[in-house]
Amino acid sequence: MENYARNVLDQLVRRGVSDIESICVFTSPRNHDLLRFNDPRVRTVRVADLAPAQEILRHLTRDTADLLFCPLVDLEPRDAPLPSFVTIPDLQHEVHPEFFDERTLAALREIYPTSVASASTVFTISEFSRQSMARVYAVDTAKIVVVPLDVDRAFRQPRGAEDAREVRRRYGVPERYVLYPAITWPHKNHSALLRAVRMFNDDHAPVAAVLTGSAGPAHRAVLGEIEALGLGTRVLVLGHIPQRDLACLYANALALVCPSLYEGFGLPILEAFHSGCPVICSGLTSCPEIAGDAALYIDPHAPETIVEAMVAVDDPAGPRGALVARGRARAERFSWAEAGRLTFAAMRAAVDAARRPILVETPSPPITVVTPSFNQAKFITETIESVLSQNYPDLDFVVMDGGSTDGTQDILRRYGDRIRWVSERDDGQADAVNKGVALARGEIIGWLNSDDTYLPKALAKVARVFATREDVDVVYGDADHVREDGSPFGPYPTAPFDYQRLAETCFICQPATFVRRRALRDVGGVDPRLHFCMDYDLWIRLGQRHRFAYLPEVLARSRLHKEAKTIASRRRVFREIIDTVHRHYGFVPFEWAYGYADHLFNRAPRDVLSAGRPSAFAWGAGVLLVLWFNRRQPAYWPKCLRRAARPLWRGVTSGASGFEARWGDRWVSKRYVGEVMVVPAATRIVIRGRHEMPGRHPLMLSVFLDHVSTGAHVFHHRGPFTIEAALPETDEQTVRLEIVANRTFRPLYRGFRDARLLSWILDDVRTR
């Protein structure tokens, strides 16, 4: 699949700028060096292992990307607000679950169906896989596009006889042998080939079996069977070898023998065709689709059928010559150029379809913003202005005032008919929101408290997602916390939607969230019995039945001040959250138990706006609390303890791991190292970031370009900053950027689970 990804991306890069203006390739630290393209349109971004989906979404939104393509089986992020494509080769795990360990099987059964359901289009590698996917996942075949594979270029560059002899000599391969290049996975069915070789050698001129490919889960069993059958001198186990050497082994083999029980494509068949090697293969799954009339088919459960085919290709008067000729002709039906053409055609069609509703058919959906308020006169003007200044064409703004006596009603009157408002006694915030929703005229509902604000164009950004994603009922974005005076405090810890992770933490910020009115009706609105976590409860109930989309744009500001009820009544907040999570999920995760213990033993009642020290006592109390909260679910206790141990491990490793990338929430640690694309004629590098570290000591950043210092930069005050430096003279398309900070801190005030060593926030790096 890595070979597939590399070749398909290469074909996309080959297309002209009129087709593709730019490509952003996301890689992890493990595979960053596998993908290199000498094209100025390609920008490679190294994504951290922590929260990769969140970081990818930020880039997609910032760059106004047209589509997302995930060629390696996992669509991530799942709910990108743009056409998305994923490649899934086959469904072997559903046909032969016995060949997979429990953990891998569970992962595949989670990743594959959710990726298929979430993607706009699914690529697969054979018609057999396409029909299997449609049947197993009950998906329309029109959503699945077959993109057949091709061979590595080594098989299209024939080697001479001298090269072939040298390869045989180097590996000790005899003159007569059959070849099977396959990792020793159970489904590769090496046993059938070994038994067939034993049977063939009993009655015919001896032949060896040459096995190549890395060691897999069945490797020991294969070696044991070789010994049991007495084939120690007749079987060569070479392991992984270079493709050029493998091409030579194909060219001199009696035949490729592929008795596999399951193939999504069967790439060795094509490799043999190109190398002039006769093919003996299984008649199951995709093999007949790829091989056509150019192979001898066998029953992989019957070694005697393999023997019959080997006898046929060993006969000078047999079908060997015809098989080789038909194989070479059939191989020409497959090419990476055709794979690239099919891939781009599907992408173009999906992008065109996505653009059409925005430009032609779909108007801006009507939005109602509901603001519950009670005695918030000192904040509500800013809230109202942030809504009205959106200049959204179809806006309905409803303020539900609970009978304020602090001048709020006078402020509301000043806006005339620009807002609708009601001032009457209610039964709390949830009741006020439900009343406002009942009065709403819009299809989309936003809930903005009277001390929070929207950022400019927030409604337009959300409307675009709803207009293009009819399947999405909830859209939420990023939000920033601000202090009572409006000064920055820090980002809300938002993350892409994951229903199970929602049990551990509320990563959805209420003022940055919008819901279709039909979905609110479906779940019965906001629960009026709750007083503190009614929004969290709503997200959980919506998540059970409706689809969420995460928009990585800062849409709102959430104000933190000591009069806010969620801060003034922290103990009651935690108790209500714990009861709510237990009611919906049937258990209480360690994260909430630790947060409660941390509040009980480490903080004054309202001391939540400053960082606290990590507390072993609170951690121990959290362990006891989580066992107590789950006392009726003892089967969950081992999971509780594993979760409790996880932050300890992160705390131990986060400082020593040498993490040098950017975390998903844009924070960086003491040392940041990355590659920056140099645009043509650029002379300077521009680094934009934010100093948000607690404490009074200044932040100092030392910047190095290609290992050369450009100086140190000192920031005495918190807030955004910009660093500029001259680029070194270089012919390379990228420059190595290294930034070293003078100090770090651990943001443990958000809970024990976040024990990273952090220094500053990196928003953007570019050259100009």
Q: What is the pLDDT of residue 361?
A: 42
Q: What is the pLDDT of residue 350?
A: 86
What average pLDDT does range 140-148 have in this prediction? 93
Q: What is the pLDDT of residues 158-193, one digit of tens each?
A: 777 888 889 999 999 999 999 999 999 999 999 999
Angle between the N-to-C axes of helices 102-118 and 127-137, in degrees from 0 to 180, rounded to the nearest 10: 90
What average pLDDT does range 201-205 have in this prediction? 91
According to the CATH classification, is domain 363-567 in 3.90.550.10?
A: yes
Place of tokens 């290049």: 181
Q: What is the pLDDT of residue 139?
A: 87
pLDDT greater than 90 at residue 487: no
H-helix or E-strand spanning residue 245: helix 243-252
Q: What is the pLDDT of residue 540?
A: 92
Q: What is the pLDDT of residue 29?
A: 63
H-helix or E-strand spanning residue 581: helix 570-585
What average pLDDT does range 481-508 have in this prediction? 81
In the chain, where does the domain assigned CATH 2.60.120.260 lie? Answer: 667-767
Q: What is the pLDDT of residue 475?
A: 93
Q: What is the pLDDT of residues 563-576, one digit of tens each?
A: 555 555 667 888 88
In the chain, where does the domain assigned CATH 3.90.550.10 lie? Answer: 363-567
What average pLDDT does range 303-316 have in this prediction? 95
- The residues pairing with 45 across neighbouring beta strands, listed in sequence order, are 26
Q: Identify the band that residue 538 occupies on the pLDDT scale cut at 50, 70 and 90.
A: very high
In contact, 717 and 697? CB cutoff 8 Å:
no
pLDDT greater than 70 at residue 604: no
In contact, 492 and 508? CB cutoff 8 Å:
no
Residue 463: partners with Cβ closer than 8 Å, 6 or more residues away: 364, 365, 367, 392, 444
Q: Is 239 left (phi over 0), alpha (psi -120 to 50) or beta?
A: left
Report the topology of domain 667-767.
Jelly Rolls (2.60.120)
Closest CA to 55 of 499, 550, 741: 550
| CATH entry, 153-334, from 3.30.413.10, 3.40.50.2000, 3.40.140.10, 3.40.1190.20 | 3.40.50.2000
Place of tokens 């459960």: 301
Q: What is the pLDDT of residue 453?
A: 93
Return mean pLDDT, the chain: 84
Q: Identify the band that residue 735 occupies on the pLDDT scale cut at 50, 70 and 90.
A: confident
* Percent residues over pLDDT 70 in the chain: 89
pLDDT greater than 50 at residue 369: yes
- Amino acid letter at 517? R
What long-range pairs does 201-207 form, CB within 8 A, spacing at least 24?
Answer: 201/234, 204/310, 204/311, 204/314, 205/176, 205/314, 206/176, 206/234, 207/176, 207/177, 207/178, 207/234, 207/254, 207/310, 207/314
* pTM, full prediction: 0.61
pLDDT greater than 50 at residue 232: yes
Q: Identify the band that residue 48 occupies on the pLDDT scale cut at 50, 70 and 90.
A: low
Instruction: Give CA–CA dist 295/280, Å, rounded.
Output: 6
pLDDT greater than 70 at residue 752: no
pLDDT greater than 60 at residue 49: no
Instruction: Give CA–CA dist 261/157, Å, rounded.
Output: 30
670 three-state secondary structure: coil
Instruction: Give CA–CA dist 550/81, Å, rounded.
Output: 8
What average pLDDT does range 669-695 have in this prediction? 84
pLDDT greater than 60 at residue 344: yes
Instruction: Give CA–CA dist 679/692, Å, rounded.
Output: 30
Return the structure tokens found at 611: 């960082």
pLDDT greater than 60 at residue 656: no
Per the model's pLDDT, the better-predicted residue between 392 and 28 turns out to be 392
In contact, 10 and 336? CB cutoff 8 Å:
yes
pLDDT greater than 90 at residue 157: no
Q: What is the pLDDT of residues 631-649, one digit of tens each?
A: 887 877 777 777 666 554 4
The total of other beta-carbon atoms located within 10 Å of residue 18's CB is: 6
Per the model's pLDDT, the better-predicted residue between 286 and 708 turns out to be 286
In the chain, where does the domain assigned CATH 3.40.50.2000 lie? Answer: 153-334
Segment among 14-28, 220-234, 251-265 with least mean pLDDT? 14-28
Q: What is the pLDDT of residues 245-288, one digit of tens each?
A: 999 999 999 999 999 999 999 999 999 999 999 999 999 999 99
Place of tokens 């592929």: 258
* Percent residues over pLDDT 90 in the chain: 39
Q: Identify the band that residue 362 occupies on the pLDDT scale cut at 50, 70 and 90.
A: very low
Q: What is the pLDDT of residue 649?
A: 43
Q: What is the pLDDT of residue 657?
A: 43
340 three-state secondary structure: helix
Task: Mark out the alpha helices in 156-211 (DSSP H runs).
Answer: 161-171, 190-203
| Residue 139: DSSP 8-state | -
